[in-house]
């Protein structure tokens, strides 16, 4: 059975567990093969190359963007990658080979980056395009490093492992990402080898232009779309759970087990990604099932996501949310009976490339909820030019998700659970399909709300 599998950065850094719990778990000989692993960079490496995903602390890229010398930081990076190599010597990594490989690879990247800086300084080209190319080059280093190391360890253990670098440093052919993937795999007998593939893939369209830091899941999805595996698998450091164990406690939640791609999209909409929605769509359309597994519990089947699954029991499958949302309320007394007010508001949001998560309407106002990170004062100013009053408030969003939760009394039990904790509901809503019931509350009540709802209606 052919599988295409992705290993995240946190899991990759626990490489001993990757070997024992994923690659060799209950497998030997030829059962190791017919598997394609798409790997992320080791934890923290892409932060050093680009910027810290959470704190925004600048990396090598920002030296280039700010017209500063980046060579010393790149040299420090090489030293840090060599330190990582030393960690995996006990697992069978040929450290000398790994050090030589990454030195050569980064040196070539440095040459490309120097050329980009020179072109940028000339003033003849678009700054945006050059800096985007720099991000692509830098991002590719992390996955090339981790993929080489894992394949080297497997080869030294006697496995027929192939290192597949989709970064394309030595391939100047103007391939799209799909063309590059097809070309690389066209000559490989998957039944007789295990493939270790970089999560970054070079293409004429630029994988980071649209997906930025979510690119490794897109590579994983594209490979699955082309190879048509029996199953696609993502290995994470945690289960896809019925609620966040960090909030409700490990004993008060469990793996979801089964759900569908619609619920996966709902999760992504509130920041709890099982998979990036742009990566899940090709899997869904091609009828490829996706399994989310916990790296540290290899015997557990995890959660299977399919296109058509609907729970046989009426139940809430996931209780989740996000505590850094903003409510933008657009008020105008002329809105009532005026066809097109919503269209005008949405046009402003579209012009600013800002998507919303929740929307509620009344006669003279429309409230729209967005991620705080997407906030723009210019958006508010532009809305203010068209409507009388714009109000912005901080909020949290908590959600009940499920493939079959249209049960009498669910909404009543949920609101009662929140009321018992003195949590005021700012707004609430659900679409006709009732796969997502949403409550807007004050931010300071977020954790309490998740716990209360989990006790009242969780499984």
Same-domain pairing of 225 and 365: no
Same-domain pairing of 26 and 139: yes
Same-domain pairing of 324 and 196: no
Beta strands 3-7 and 290-294, pairing class: unpaired
Burial 101-121 (b: 16+ CB within 10 A, else e): bbeebbeebbeebeebbeebe
Same-domain pairing of 349 and 221: no
Last residue of a domain, one of 237, 258, 280: 237
pLDDT > 70 in the chain, percent? 100
Burial 380-392 (b: 16+ CB within 10 A, else e): eebbeeebeebee
| Average pLDDT of the chain to the nearest whole number | 94
Domain that holds residue 162: 3-237
Query: CA 309 to CA 321: how far, in whole Å?
Result: 23
Query: CA 403 to CA 261: how far, in whole Å?
Result: 10
Establish if 291 belongs to a structural domain. no
Kind plus residue range of the DSSP H or E element containing 330? strand 318-331
Q: What does 195-261 look like in DSSP terms, one character per residue?
A: EEEES----TT-HHHHHGGGHHHHHHHHHHHHH--SEEEEEESS--BSS-HHHH-GGG--B--EEEH
Same-domain pairing of 75 and 203: yes
Establish if 262 belongs to a structural domain. no
Same-domain pairing of 231 and 331: no
Number of domains into which the chain is organized: 2
Establish if 58 belongs to a structural domain. yes
Question: Residue 370: which of 346, 387, 389, 402 has the closest Cα?
Answer: 346
Establish if 296 belongs to a structural domain. no
pLDDT tens-digit series, residues 203-246: 999 988 878 878 999 999 999 999 999 999 999 998 999 999 99
Same-domain pairing of 222 and 338: no
- Residue 115: its pLDDT value, please? 94
Phi-psi label, residue 259: left if phi above 0, alpha if psi -120 to 50, beta otherwise = beta
pLDDT tens-digit series, residues 139-190: 999 999 999 999 999 999 999 999 999 999 888 899 999 999 999 999 899 9
Q: Is the pLDDT of residue 101 over 80?
A: yes
**Mean per-residue pLDDT, 379-387:** 96
Same-domain pairing of 204 and 323: no
**Mean per-residue pLDDT, 278-305:** 94
Same-domain pairing of 220 and 365: no
Q: How confident is the model at residue 123 (pLDDT cuts 50, 70, 90)?
A: confident
Q: Is the pLDDT of residue 103 over 80?
A: yes
Last residue of a domain, one of 209, 237, 265: 237
Query: CA 288 to CA 285: how far, in whole Å?
Result: 8
- Check which CATH number belongs to the domain holding 227 and give it: 3.40.1160.10
Same-domain pairing of 17 and 135: yes
- Residue 121: its pLDDT value, please? 87
CB-CB contact of 319 with 400 (8 Å): yes
If you count them, how many residues does the chain have?
459
Q: What does DSSP assign to residue 170?
A: T
Same-domain pairing of 232 and 138: yes
Q: Is the pLDDT of residue 3 over 70?
A: yes
Judged by DSSP in three states, 234 sits in strand
Establish if 428 belongs to a structural domain. yes
Establish if 295 belongs to a structural domain. no
Establish if 337 belongs to a structural domain. yes
Same-domain pairing of 44 and 150: yes
Alpha helices in 186-214 (DSSP H): 207-211
- Check which CATH number belongs to the domain holding 416 and give it: 3.30.2130.10
CB-CB contact of 320 with 243 (8 Å): yes
Q: Is the pLDDT of residue 68 over 80?
A: yes
Using only C-alpha atoms, what is the Rg of the chain?
24
Query: CA 336 to CA 338: how far, in whole Å?
Result: 5
Establish if 348 belongs to a structural domain. yes
| φ, ψ (nearest 5 deg) of residue 396 | -125, 155
Query: CA 294 to CA 275: how far, in whole Å?
Result: 14
Last residue of a domain, one of 202, 237, 272: 237
């Amino acid at each position: 059975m052919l599988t295409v599998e992705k290993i995240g950065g946190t899991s990759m850094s626990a490489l001993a567990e990757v070997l024992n719990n994923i690659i060799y778990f209950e497998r030997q000989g030829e059962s190791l093969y017919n598997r394609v692993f798409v790997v992320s960079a080791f934890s923290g490496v892409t932060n050093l190359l680009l910027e810290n995903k959470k704190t925004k602390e600048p990396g090598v890229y920002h030296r280039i963007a700010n017209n500063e010398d980046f060579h010393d930081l790149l040299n420090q990076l090489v030293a840090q990658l060599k330190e990582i190599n030393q960690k995996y010597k006990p697992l069978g990594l040929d450290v000398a080979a790994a050090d030589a490989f990454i030195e050569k690879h980064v040196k070539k990247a440095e040459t490309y980056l120097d050329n980009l800086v020179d072109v940028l300084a000339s003033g003849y080209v678009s700054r945006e395009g050059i800096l985007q190319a720099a991000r692509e080059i830098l991002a590719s280093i992390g996955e090339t490093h981790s993929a080489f190391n894992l394949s080297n360890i497997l080869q030294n253990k006697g496995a027929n492992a192939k290192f597949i670098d989709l970064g394309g440093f030595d391939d100047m052919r103007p391939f799209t990402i799909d063309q590059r993937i097809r070309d690389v795999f066209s000559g490989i007998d998957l039944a007789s080898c295990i493939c270790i593939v970089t999560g970054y893939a070079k293409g004429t369209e630029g994988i980071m232009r649209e997906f930025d830091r979510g690119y490794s899941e897109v590579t994983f999805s594209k490979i699955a779309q082309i190879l048509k595996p029996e199953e696609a698998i993502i290995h994470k450091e945690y289960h896809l759970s019925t609620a966040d164990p960090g909030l409700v406690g490990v004993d008060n939640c469990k793996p979801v087990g089964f759900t569908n791609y619609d619920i996966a999209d709902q999760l992504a909409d509130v920041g709890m990604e099982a998979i990036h929605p742009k990566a899940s769509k090709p899997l869904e359309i091609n009828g490829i099932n996706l399994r989310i597994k916990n790296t540290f519990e290899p015997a557990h089947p995890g959660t299977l996501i399919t296109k058509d699954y609907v729970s046989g029991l009426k139940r809430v499958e996931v209780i989740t949310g996000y505590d850094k949302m903003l409510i933008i309320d657009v008020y105008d007394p002329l809105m009532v009976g005026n066809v097109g007010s919503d269209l005008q508001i949405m046009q402003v949001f579209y012009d600013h490339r800002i998507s919303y998560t929740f929307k509620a309407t009344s006669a003279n106002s429309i409230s729209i909820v967005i991620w705080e990170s997407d906030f723009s004062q210019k958006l508010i100013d532009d809305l203010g030019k068209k409507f009388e009053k714009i109000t912005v408030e901080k909020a949290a969003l908590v959600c009940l998700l499920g493939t079959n939760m249209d049960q009498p009394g669910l909404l009543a039990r949920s609101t009662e659970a929140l009321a018992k904790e003195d949590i005021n509901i700012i707004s609430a809503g659900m679409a006709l399909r009732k796969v997502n019931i949403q409550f807007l509350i004050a931010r300071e009540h977020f954790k309490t709300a998740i716990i209360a709802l989990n006790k009242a209606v969780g499984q």
